[in-house]
Amino acid sequence: MDHLSSSAPPPGAHPFSGLDPDRVLDALQSVGIVGDGRLLALNSYENRVYQVGCEDGPPVVAKFYRPGRWSNEAILEEHAFVAELAEREVPVVPAMTIEGRTLHEFGGFRFAVFPRRGGRAPELGDAATLEWIGRFIGRIHAVGAVSPYRVRPALDQQTFGREPADYLLRHDFLPRELRATYASVAEQALAGVARCYERAGDLPPLRLHGDCHGGNVLWTDGGPHFVDFDDSRMGPAVQDLWMLLSGERHEQVRQMSDVLAGYEDFCEFDPRQLYLVEALRTLRLIHYSAWLAMRWDDPAFPAAFPWFNTQRYWQDRILELREQVALMDEPPLWPV
């Protein structure tokens, strides 16, 4: 994690404890956006995101960044990437430039403002939809491969596997009777991940969306657009593809074929990437548990994830990782 900024709340205070509706509206007014009093909290846990009605125009979306997660430089690097995509007419939603800046600060909080872009969830079971999404991911990656991130970290075995697993084992989240079992299974899983990376070989990383699941692809009559690049990092291209897959193995093979049919119109896909699908799924499972643990002092998390940190939760995670150990030794999802 990045070092805490000087604007972070005092030690012991919750990061968003001082972010009430009045402060949200005052922050927007500080950059010339006058709200009309309509404020709708959107579904976000890592940051705080609001749809804000405006007196003199359409609603905007205001995103207040979690203190201490990203440095200013890392946030601006992501803003620049999304702006670069928008300049090339890739359907993304860049931060608005206000008074020459995309990142602003008010009352100890950093925030950005975005135009509101609606849409519905894509039909990921439809071949034409997957091909369409694949074309745009190919365009994102064609731009993402032009130059690397200099500040934002990589999605790799260390940052998404070893470090999160170590965090969970160093802290008192795992029940004592399951701790040794989880440690053993996590070690087996990470060894399986390492074998997958060895089979894949040396694959050049590129700038990714990073969290390209169906909830971050909004569909309109004009096709898809991509939102929320907050998790954008350097990493393997297949990271932005595998989360679109679901169902049994034969269904995932067909879905990957559909995605790649569009993707390869704009970006070459190295089939060795397919060795990483289950490895990346395994890393995400470990990282997700650690993410919940690291955020457990945020009141929004116990309210939204009451099942976390129960005996049943950790039993399920152990079973899940055991299944992943077996899946990582299976042949990859070669497209038909």
Catalytic residue among 228, 230, 258, 298: 228
23-28, Cβ contacts within 8 angstroms, sequence gap of 24 or more: 23/106, 23/107, 23/109, 24/50, 24/52, 24/62, 24/64, 25/52, 26/106, 26/107, 27/62, 27/64, 27/104, 27/106, 27/107, 27/109, 27/111, 28/52, 28/60, 28/62, 28/113
8 Å CB contact between 258 and 245: no
Q: Give the whole-angstrom CA distance, residue 212 versus residue 210.
A: 6
Active site residue 228: yes
Provide the 10 A C-beta neighbour count for residue 334: 10
Structure tokens at 88: 């090339």
Which residue reads 């001082």 in tokens? Answer: 18
Q: Give the whole-angstrom CA distance, residue 165 versus residue 156.
A: 13
CA distances from 56 to 59, 89, 249, 272, 275 (A): 9, 27, 51, 52, 52
Catalytic residue among 56, 211, 221, 316: 211
Residue 10, SS3 per DSSP: coil
Which residue reads 């009451």 in tokens? Answer: 306
- ∠ CA 150-284-311, nearest 5°, is 140
Structure tokens at 54: 């405006």
Structure tokens at 43: 């579904």
Which residue reads 């990859």 in tokens? Answer: 332
Catalytic machinery residues: 211, 228
